[in-house]
Chain A
Amino acid sequence: MRIATALSVSLLAAASAFAQDLTPRGEVPDHPIAITGATIHTMVEGADPIEGGYVLFEDGRITDIGQGDRMFIATTRIIDGAGMHVYPGLIAAGTRLGLAEIGAVRAMRDFAEVGSIKPEVRAVVAVNPDSTLLPVARTNGILLVGTFPSGGLVSGQAGVIRLDGWTWEDMTANANAGIVMSWPSVRQGYRAFGGGQPLTEAAVRQRLEAIDRLFDTAEAYRDARAADPSTLIDLRLEAMLDLLPGVEDQKPLIITADDVERIQSAVTWAAGRGLKVIIRGGRDAPMLAELLKKHDVPVIVRGVHAFPRRNDSPVDEAFTLPARLDATGVRWCLAPRDVDEHVRNLPYEAALAVAYGRGLGFDETDAMAAITRSAADILGIGDDYGTLEVGKSATLLLTDGTPLEMTTRLDAAFIDGARVDLSNKQTVLRDKYTEKYHRQGLIERDN
């Protein structure tokens, strides 16, 4: 018997003998690259896939997309994509990749700062570029992730990182995608893992007042600083300024809320203060579609690998949430349920939503949009990522089928035009022990 390697990369010559954490990052070549003859899934809203199409990119940007034959300048490296598919790189909207290595070890946890209100802490600065978790996600086509702080009432600033880079600065695609907070409630949270504990009414009021006071203080601070630039700098309030109405490039508040009460009160409150809001969780969001649309509040669905809310709920309740939400016209994207080592399974959560949502009109294209275009838009990187369009970043996948299907093979991936290594620690261990059994004669060598 022999074991096939999933990564029989034959299209491009590239070294993949070492784990990513031991190899240099991908490099943007000094020549254009064209993938030709492939089906190009641009993921542009409403656009059909381009059969027999090509993508041309140079200096990290897409310079042309089209159908049929085209002449390329002589230096262009041509990748024959016949029978293959090109997709934008997958984007996992809410994770904590880079902030945690082994969750069970305290020294390896950098996602939850002490205290209740800490808008000043920034996720991107704590991202460990050499985390073994990052290349493992990348091997499955996840090329960008939102990395979110957690804990307390206001957790800190979410970042978006590319899963390749020498430093966290290289990797940063958006240093502040919004400030993460959780909405307090007297009711217990989602019953699945991580469901919040119920609070007393007094405790909820106290928290809500604390939030309101925080914004009042931030506005006063802004005015004070404007009137008198020598006003002492307060890092916490400084971090709040980007959220306030009237500021250029106003940042969203990313509020974790699953149930109808939380979503309703969070959105109503935020709208009253002129804030931009993203709801993260959104189990009951389909019930509040009109409210969400009225205030243009998008939803980050936290995966479908969750239990139904109640014992009597439909068994596929969590699986059909994307389909039910999509049908309402609310803007949304899909994040993985697991925020660490299982982020790589994001496309299969999207696929499950198709398996159970087809009857509601939810198809593979909708599912792909939820982990590419919509995720990019909601994370504030839509100008560069999420679709394949001329002028946008050449962050894309070359596969033999839809990324939603388990058996699909990923042959190559590019981030900002640089081809990235698809090996990782796990492939190195695979090769090491396969070699052991080759030598023992338990596994035949490949020819």
Chain B
Amino acid sequence: MAARRAVVVGLALLLGSSAFAQPSSQSTSDSPLVDRPNGPKRAEVERFALVGGTIHAAAGQEPFEGTVYIEGGRITLVDRIGGEPPAGFAIIDATDLHLYPAFVEAFYEVGAPAPGSPGSPGTHWNPLVTPQRSALDATWPDEGARSGLRKLGFGVVAIAPDGGIFRGSNAVISLAEPSDDASGHRPLVLRDRVGQVMAFESSGWGSNRQYPTSQMGSIALVRQTLLDARWQSRQEGIASNALTPLEDEGVALWFDVPTELEAIRASSMAREFGRSAVIVGSGTEYQRLDALRREADQGDLTLVVPLRFPKAPRVKSLAESEAIDLGTLMAWEQAPTNLRRVQAAGFDLVLTTSKLPSGIGGRSGFHGHLRTAIEHGFDEQDALAALTTRPAALLGIEDHVGTIEPGKLGNLIVTTGPIFDKDTTILDVWIEGHRHEIGQPEAESLEGMWELTLAGRFRLDLDIDAKGKGVMSDPGMEVAEGEEAPTTKATLDRTLDTLTVNFDHEPFGMPGVFTLTGTVTGDEIVGVGARPDGVAFEFTGARMAPEEEVEEDSTDEDATEDDDDGPPEDLGGYPFGPYSVAQIPEQETLVITNATVWTVSDAGTIVGGWVAVADGRIVGVGEGSPPMLEGVRVIDAQGRHVTPGLIDAHSHTGTWSGGTNEAGQAVTAEVRMGDTTDPDPVNWYRQLAGGVTTVNTLHGSANPIGGQNVIQKVRWGAVHPTDMHFEDARPGIKFALGENVKQSNWGDRFTTRYPQTRMGVETIIRDRFIAAREYAANGMKTPTGRTDLELEALAEILAGDRLIHCHSYRQDEILMLCRVAEEFGFKIGTFQHGLECYKVAEAVREHAIGASIFSDWWAFKVEVQDAIPYGGPILHAAGVNVSFNSDSDELARRMNIEAAKAIKYGGLSPEEAIRFITINPAIQLAIDDRVGSIEAGKDADLVIWSGNPLSTMSRCEHVFIDGREYFSLETDMAHRERIASERERLIQKLMREQAKLPEREVGAGTDDAEERPRDPHGVDGPTRLGVYAWFYGHDGRMAAGASMCGACGVLPAEYLEMIQQEGR
């Protein structure tokens, strides 16, 4: 290593003028911001020439050798010819080194102060809405944080205020270290008010419940606030307030999101207002890539992606692996593929060092993770762009940073090699033409045979190996035949260029410890030593040229690395994890024949009937031989029954991640369940497997007026969350009465929110309807002309455009809402639960489309003491439209049995009972033109049952939605097999790592392995379930007497055939 650290130009030279200097070049210390010097002004070196390095001027460009000139903080010339620098430049020898543009960190959170105490002038009512905050008011990242970023190669950082929903604007600042002299350099602010930083924050359901308590509430608040800002931009006479920074719709919205689903939600929100979105993501984008792609195609979306890799799950014991879900295993393996896949999907992603979990080393693990991502196929030039040109452009500072070009800031990284290589060290980061020393080049190895001469006479040889261990020997010593020359261990200590050697001289003559201390220069050493008796002497030494060695075979360690399987196969499909679907099933043209068809229409139940499906619709139903059989799929449903897809009019599936309740206020009509649809939970699939095809996703019952519901089809594997939504369904909204809304069971702390009684519940509902009536009368505007999303939803109820689905139990409150409906002139959609509807059937019949109730729930709280399973049948008999619902992900898997309870408790005919879970809820949700019965023209949402659907001993075998087969026993079987083999593979992979067992090639070498049966259900021998089998102790055999594998729960094909033959 050359003495590259020396600045070889004398100070005097700097005072001369430079032929290279741009006329506009300005000294960085010539700034109005700096103080007068304390004493004589110190001259600073401001002209540098980095000579002879490999210059990577910009991502995607071929590197070249040359010289970079920096003057006054900016790059003035990038010289490819490499002539001698003119006088006046401090020359930095960059021979053998690499120069890169310094990195740009696009997202770094800082604690910015709140703009004022609540209620102070200009503030928003919600403390989480603080768009007026500025990152520049924040505490500057401390020295540790700044140097931490510099060590990674960053020259500038975009700081963003943390905490809140509207968090304020971000700004780009330089990471140059300020001079410790008040008159010296002060780092630049490159750009202020870059974007508005946001997050869908909420208080959660903890003890400190404040609006919003849910993500959907947070989204509703964002929507209302952006509307308000738009309104305000058209007003006059408002100087400045919290909303002012939001008025310019050209400012991008920067969303900090923790999941890929939130990324989609954030993008949709920005798109709704025609604004650019920058998503600071989760590292899990690959799990919803196609939906993100679709978002990007429809709007302006940039992804800033962290390198979040999950910690390897522990699976050493059976109990541990049994507790681990396949999705967790897959996420562990697949996370490093994220960058490549996001890039391949057409996103020019930007990298950030933020969000690296401290459990895996935090920010300092950045380069290691990036290397892992590169090993998983992420292109190095993309990596460089994602750290330089792209963030520079995103932040609008591309004229200043991102490349090594004249005119740009002198922001460079100097490295010992290609920047993403494992062995490369970052030596310096130059920022604004100031050099920040980061790393030392690795000290040169002392390995080799050193011939020492002590006191000019005595020869000793010091053999230093690759690990720095030394052995001393005397080459002049005579050794008897067959004996080895004596040696002694030499301990070495090295400080910079000084080497100290201690050794026991006993084998060579004088007993006792000798010490030698010398200065190493290349292959030479010169120094002084001392004998045990204290007599000092000088010594010299030289390293002998190494003997030519025959290339050895790679060591064992290398061999192990070679055995590495390489990057894993990409696992995809939606939703990510078990039961994922690679492709939404095709829309089929098909005929189901020989079935008992429950049409749930005037056609009744047809024994020996058929149903024909094309283009997602039912095209015919009949008895006997179907008309169309040529070239279409025919399902012979001999002995089987076909019903319409089941409809669950009360579901909360997929709401847990976005919140089921917005409990922060008594009235939250502005909240929309559809904003936070989560297609991931496996409970969707489980319900599908029970024949459910349509659900009404309702807000919870925490407040008298809750959020807007969304009707969804159980389109498992949907690419985009909104693909689940039932197209053009009539809007609805959740209301709630009784114990939940008056907080009876919330705990003793919750006694102050209005209402606390059923009296107050009526009052608040009537009060809001009066306000909504005024709002409607004012042309759907507030008196000042604002759009109020809460009143808008309520006014839609009054207009008959939005249906109320009202959680209710007691007859008094049910009757109350009927009277409110009468007063305001609208029809109620449904009473949900409505367990005492049976006591006021005459009112329910008149004022609601129907009652959507539990079949037999009761006694779980005070207000349901009088609930009876006869309620549904009584209402039905009294002429009320009745449906049975689940309100439970568990119960929703067996709604057919719920319907049978109408027979048990009310003596209904089977045809009447099945209506409770098909056409009746369809009517209640106003979707009966599309679903709920088997009639030509309706959606082909069909279920094939093994027997009578109302029998407790039947099960669902096929489910079609829109003419697509979303579930069948065969596809379920395929899922199970795939899950079993993926689990086996991943657990084996982890277990080998964790138990530190050597890799073993399956099927190679041993006879035993070759004979291993490939079928996991093979009756003999160990299975490919491997670890499972031996832990379970059944050696891969079926559990005794059973035909299901006890280890993996997979149904063997024989079972499938058996149940199909049995017919039920």
A interface list, Cβ under 8 A from B: 1-6, 101-105, 132-133, 187-188, 192-193, 259-261, 284, 286-287, 289-290, 305-317, 320, 323-324, 327-329, 340-342, 344-345, 347-348, 351-352, 354-356, 358-361, 364, 404-407, 426-427, 429-430, 433-434, 436-437, 440, 442-443
- For A364, the chain B residues whose CB sits under 8 A away are 953
Least distance between A104 CB and chain B CB atoms (Å) = 4
Q: Does B325 contact A (CB under 8 A)?
A: yes
With known contacts A102-B860, A104-B862, A341-B859, A314–B1051 Cβ distance under 8 A = yes
Q: Does B929 contact A (CB under 8 A)?
A: no
**8 Å CB contact of B874 from A105, A284, A351, A433:** A433
Mark interface residues in B958-981 (1 if CB within 8 Å of A CB, else 0). 000000000000001000100100
Q: In the complex, identify which listed stretch (B193-201, B773-781, B896-904) lies at the interface while the others stay far away.
A: B896-904
A405 touches B952 (CB 8 A): yes
Q: In the complex, identify which listed stretch (B343-351, B669-677, B757-765, B834-842) lies at the interface while the others stay far away.
A: B834-842
- For B876, the chain A residues whose CB sits under 8 A away are 1
A307 touches B890 (CB 8 A): yes
B1046 touches A437 (CB 8 A): no
**8 Å CB contact of A101 from B859, B907, B976, B1039:** B859
- For B686, the chain A residues whose CB sits under 8 A away are 307-308, 315
**8 Å CB contact of B1042 from A132, A324, A433:** A324
A133 touches B859 (CB 8 A): yes
Which chain A residue shows the least CB distance to B867? A426
Interface pairs (25), CB distance under 8 Å: A3-B874, A3-B877, A101-B859, A102-B859, A104-B745, A105-B862, A132-B865, A188-B323, A310-B324, A311-B682, A315-B893, A320-B1044, A320-B1049, A323-B1044, A329-B1041, A340-B860, A358-B1059, A359-B1044, A360-B1042, A406-B900, A406-B903, A407-B900, A437-B841, A440-B842, A442-B878
Q: Does B905 contact A (CB under 8 A)?
A: yes
Least distance between A245 CB and chain B CB atoms (Å) = 28
Mark interface residues in B843-866 (1 if CB within 8 Å of A CB, else 0). 001000000000011111110011
- For B1033, the chain A residues whose CB sits under 8 A away are 290
- For A442, the chain B residues whose CB sits under 8 A away are 841-842, 845, 877-879
A5 to B877, CA, bound (A): 12
A314 touches B976 (CB 8 A): yes
B868 touches A360 (CB 8 A): no
- For B866, the chain A residues whose CB sits under 8 A away are 429
A312 touches B325 (CB 8 A): yes
- For A358, the chain B residues whose CB sits under 8 A away are 1058-1059, 1062
A407 touches B322 (CB 8 A): no
A443 touches B319 (CB 8 A): no
A260 touches B322 (CB 8 A): yes
Q: Does B699 contact A (CB under 8 A)?
A: no
Instruction: Give me the 8 closest cross-chain CB pairs, A-B, nearest first.
Output: A4-B907, A312-B578, A351-B952, A327-B1042, A312-B326, A430-B870, A406-B900, A341-B859
A355 touches B870 (CB 8 A): no
- For B897, the chain A residues whose CB sits under 8 A away are 348, 352, 406
Least distance between B213 CB and chain A CB atoms (Å) = 22
- For B878, the chain A residues whose CB sits under 8 A away are 437, 442-443
Within 8 A of A (CB), among B809-830: none
A188 to B322, CA, bound (A): 11
Which chain B residue shows the least CB distance to A404? B952
Most buried by B among A101, A289, A317, A329: A289
Given contacts A3-B907, A284-B322, A312-B325, 8 further A-B contacts (CB under 8 A): A192-B890, A312-B326, A324-B1046, A327-B1041, A355-B954, A361-B1041, A406-B897, A442-B879
A2 to B906, CA, bound (A): 10
With known contacts A3-B873, A406-B900, A311–B577 Cβ distance under 8 A = yes
**8 Å CB contact of A359 from B685, B1032, B1043:** B1043
- For A340, the chain B residues whose CB sits under 8 A away are 859-860
B950 touches A406 (CB 8 A): yes
**8 Å CB contact of B1049 from A1, A317, A352, A406:** A317
Least distance between A322 CB and chain B CB atoms (Å) = 11
Q: Does B188 contact A (CB under 8 A)?
A: no
A436 to B689, CA, bound (A): 41
- For B979, the chain A residues whose CB sits under 8 A away are 312
With known contacts A3-B907, A192-B890, A430–B874 Cβ distance under 8 A = yes
Q: Does B129 contact A (CB under 8 A)?
A: no
Q: Does B133 contact A (CB under 8 A)?
A: no
Which chain A residue shows the least CB distance to B869? A426
For chain B, the bracket of interface size reads 35 or more
- For B891, the chain A residues whose CB sits under 8 A away are 305
A445 to B148, CA, bound (A): 84
Which chain B residue shows the least CB distance to A2? B877
- For B1044, the chain A residues whose CB sits under 8 A away are 320, 323-324, 359-360
**8 Å CB contact of A406 from B326, B858, B904, B1043:** B904
B interface list, Cβ under 8 A from A: 318-319, 322-327, 577-579, 682-683, 685-686, 689, 745, 838-839, 841-842, 845, 856-862, 865-866, 868-870, 873-874, 876-879, 889-891, 893-894, 897, 900-901, 903-907, 946, 950-955, 972, 976, 979, 983, 1032-1033, 1039-1044, 1046, 1049-1051, 1055-1056, 1058-1059, 1062
A360 touches B689 (CB 8 A): no
- For A351, the chain B residues whose CB sits under 8 A away are 952-953
A99 to B906, CA, bound (A): 30
A404 to B904, CA, bound (A): 12
- For B860, the chain A residues whose CB sits under 8 A away are 102-104, 340-341
**8 Å CB contact of B953 from A4, A105, A327, A354:** A354
- For B323, the chain A residues whose CB sits under 8 A away are 187-188, 259, 310
A406 to B579, CA, bound (A): 32
A179 to B877, CA, bound (A): 48
**8 Å CB contact of A430 from B318, B868, B900, B1051:** B868
A359 to B1063, CA, bound (A): 11
A312 touches B579 (CB 8 A): yes
With known contacts A312-B579, A328-B1041, A358-B1059, A259–B322 Cβ distance under 8 A = yes
A5 to B868, CA, bound (A): 14
A1 to B878, CA, bound (A): 8
- For B976, the chain A residues whose CB sits under 8 A away are 314
- For A305, the chain B residues whose CB sits under 8 A away are 890-891
A342 touches B856 (CB 8 A): yes
Most buried by B among A187, A312, A342: A312
B951 touches A405 (CB 8 A): yes
A138 to B1062, CA, bound (A): 34
Least distance between B506 CB and chain A CB atoms (Å) = 53
B858 touches A315 (CB 8 A): no
A287 touches B1046 (CB 8 A): yes
Least distance between B653 CB and chain A CB atoms (Å) = 12
B1040 touches A314 (CB 8 A): no
A294 to B193, CA, bound (A): 74
Least distance between B956 CB and chain A CB atoms (Å) = 10
- For A359, the chain B residues whose CB sits under 8 A away are 1043-1044, 1051, 1055-1056, 1058-1059
B838 touches A329 (CB 8 A): no
Least distance between B805 CB and chain A CB atoms (Å) = 23
Which chain A residue shows the least CB distance to B579? A312
Least distance between B646 CB and chain A CB atoms (Å) = 16
- For B685, the chain A residues whose CB sits under 8 A away are 315
With known contacts A4-B907, A260-B319, A358-B1059, A434–B874 Cβ distance under 8 A = yes
B868 touches A429 (CB 8 A): yes
- For A1, the chain B residues whose CB sits under 8 A away are 876-877, 879
Which chain A residue shows the least CB distance to B1041? A327
- For B579, the chain A residues whose CB sits under 8 A away are 311-312
With known contacts A102-B862, A407-B900, A323–B1042 Cβ distance under 8 A = yes
- For A290, the chain B residues whose CB sits under 8 A away are 1033
A1 to B912, CA, bound (A): 12
A312 touches B983 (CB 8 A): yes
Least distance between A427 CB and chain B CB atoms (Å) = 7
A443 touches B1040 (CB 8 A): no
**8 Å CB contact of A6 from B856, B861, B904, B1051:** B904
